[in-house]
Amino acid sequence: MKMEYDYRIITGDLLEWYKTEKRTLPWRSTPLPYYVWISEIMLQQTRVEAVKDYFARFTLEYPTIKDLAETEENRLMKLWEGLGYYQRARNLLKAAKIIAAEYGGEIPADYEKIKSLPGIGSYTAGAISSIAFGMYEPAVDGNVLRVTKRLAGSYDDITKQKVKKDLEAALREVMTEKKLSGDFNQALMELGAMVCIPNGKPLCEKCPVKNHCTAKEKNIQMELPVKPGKKDRKIENKTILILEYQSRYGLNQRAEKGLLAGLWEYPNLEGKLPIEKVEKILEEQGIRDYEMELLGEARHIFSHIEWHMLGYRIKIQEWEKNLEKDSARNTLVWADKHELEAVYALPAAFQAYKTKLG
């Protein structure tokens, strides 16, 4: 196929640079297929620094894919707490069960079989195949798209699937011809993370391939890559109620489908409600003997939604006797601080209020 840019000309300089400049990362020192898989899934949408601890805890608790396949989903969610995008963890569990049942607990050395597993797309399949199995498969993520489009000086819309597929085909051709695998993919990603950075000016003077970069030559680095305007996030206002009774905190479990499915949360109401409104709602629920403290505002940003929250801490002295049978209240579980830490997976969205409990 005709290439928009001849990636063969950068491979030597890029690999030399990677050899000396690459960061030491736990999953790089032992590139087992399992470790590559877990780290790549964790790294989607999450910074490397944040992933290091999660990766260590995860692989300690689940040293093998079989161990992961046998875990309880609740326990896995607790380990994943704070990483966000919880569907990733559910897919890990589904895929682990398939690997345990169909492949004897080992990831198969087959790109198509890897790509067919839940939660694994062409990027992750390429990363596992090339890094762990030495195959000539590209791993095109946002970093790689940015670097390559700048090198080529290309105004292609990188949100289009065809653009990604064409780039994968072009890189696969070069990798096959030059027998390049994991290090080449990781070098491109590393360049995108460390030098040809996404926000702010790329550090072109430090770039090992600057002499082959069309964007630098034409001084159009900041115009690339082209990513047509993402839709604005939807804003949802919420009032968060931290109900406290005898040093325990009321929690609800979220619905099985949708945002943060199945995780635990503090009870909350739509809108940022003033104190009088909250008092009225508590009264309607029969909660009359309490102290209320305003905890202030907090925000949490998801990919398509922003929560703008207002929190209240409500220390309940007494429940009304007839509330024992109240169905709304009976949906709450009451967790002490230890259980909040060890048992219930509370999404990072509520972290700002959890830390205020002291």
Residues serving a catalytic function are: 40
Q: Which distant-in-sequence residues (6+ apart) come within 8 Å of 52 by Cβ? A: 25, 26
Kindly state the smallest distance separating residue 27's Cβ from ligand SF4, in Å: 25
* C-beta of 64 vs 214, nearer to ligand SF4: 214
Closest CA to 40 of 182, 195, 225: 182
Closest to ligand SF4 by CB, 213 or 346: 213
Smallest distance from ligand SF4 to CB 195, Å: 5
Amino acid code (one letter) for 314:
I
Each as own residue / partner, the long-range contacts of residues 18-27 (CB below 8 Å, 24 or more positions apart, any chain) are 18/183, 18/186, 18/187, 18/190, 18/191, 21/190, 21/194, 22/186, 22/187, 22/190, 23/48, 23/190, 23/194, 25/52, 26/52, 26/55, 26/56, 27/55
User: Whose Cβ is closer to ligand SF4: residue 92's or residue 209's?
Assistant: 209
Residue 130 CA to residue 185 CA, distance in Å, equals 8
Nearest distance, CB of residue 148 and ligand SF4, angstroms: 9
Under 8 Å between Cβ of 5 and 214? yes
Binding site for ligand SF4 (CB under 6 A): 147, 150-151, 195-196, 202, 204, 207, 209-210, 213, 215-216, 221
Question: Measured from the CB of residue 215, what is the shortest distance to ligand SF4 in angstroms?
Answer: 5
CB of 145 vs ligand SF4, minimal distance in Å:
12
Q: 6 is written with which tokens?
A: 């001849």
Burial per residue of 153-167, b for 16 or more beta-carbon CB atoms within 10 angstroms, e otherwise: bbebebeeeebbeeb
Q: What angle do CA 67, 133, 97 make, to 5 degrees?
A: 25
Q: For ligand SF4, which is the closer residue by CB, 146 or 164?
A: 146
Q: Which is nearer to ligand SF4, 202 or 267 (CB)?
A: 202
Containing 294, the helix (H) or strand (E) segment is: strand 289-301
